[in-house]
C-alpha cells in the first residue's frame, strides 16, 4: 500500500462498538504514544490500526488468511 495524503476534517463519521477489552487496548495505545511525547486521538490511532491491518491482510498467503478469518469470526462472537 502506498502512502497517501488525506485532507483534515473531510472524513466520514462511523460509530465503532468497542468492548471493554478493546477500548482498554485503545487507551493503552494512547498512553504508549504519550510516553514518547505524542498525543494522538482515538480516531487517529484507529485509522492507523485499520490501515496497518489492511496491509497485513493484503500480504497474507491463503493459508494464513484462512486462520485470520477464523480468528475474526471468533471475535464476532466475543471470543478473544
Q: Which domain holds residue 67?
A: 20-76
**Residue 50 located in a structural domain:** yes
**Residue 1 located in a structural domain:** no
**Residue 58 located in a structural domain:** yes
Number of domains in the chain: 1
Query: For a pLDDT cut of 70, what percent of the chain falls above it?
Result: 96
**Residue 8 located in a structural domain:** no
**Residue 15 located in a structural domain:** no
Q: Return left, alpha or beta for 59; rule: phi > 0 is left, psi -120 to 50 is alpha, else beta.
A: alpha
Mean pLDDT of 43-47: 95
pLDDT (0 to 100) of residue 32: 98
CA-wise closest residue to 77 among 19, 16, 26: 19
Tell me the H-state helices in the chain: 20-34, 42-59, 62-76
Which band of pLDDT confidence, cut at 50, 70 and 90, is reported for residue 51? very high
**Residue 12 located in a structural domain:** no
Mean pLDDT of the chain: 91
Contacts of 30 by beta carbon, 8 Å cutoff, 6+ apart: 39, 40, 42, 45
Range of weakest confidence among 21-30, 37-46, 57-66, 70-79: 70-79
- Cα separation of 12 and 47, whole Å? 12
Which band of pLDDT confidence, cut at 50, 70 and 90, is reported for residue 3? low
**Residue 28 located in a structural domain:** yes
Amino acid at each position: 500500500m502506498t502512502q497517501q495524503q488525506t485532507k483534515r476534517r473531510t472524513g466520514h463519521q462511523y460509530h465503532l462498538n468497542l468492548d471493554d477489552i478493546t477500548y482498554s487496548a485503545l487507551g493503552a495505545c494512547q498512553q504508549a504514544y504519550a510516553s514518547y511525547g505524542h498525543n494522538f486521538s482515538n480516531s487517529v490511532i484507529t485509522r492507523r490500526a485499520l490501515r496497518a491491518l489492511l496491509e497485513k491482510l493484503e500480504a497474507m498467503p491463503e493459508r494464513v488468511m484462512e486462520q485470520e478469518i477464523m480468528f475474526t469470526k471468533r471475535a464476532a462472537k466475543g471470543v478473544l
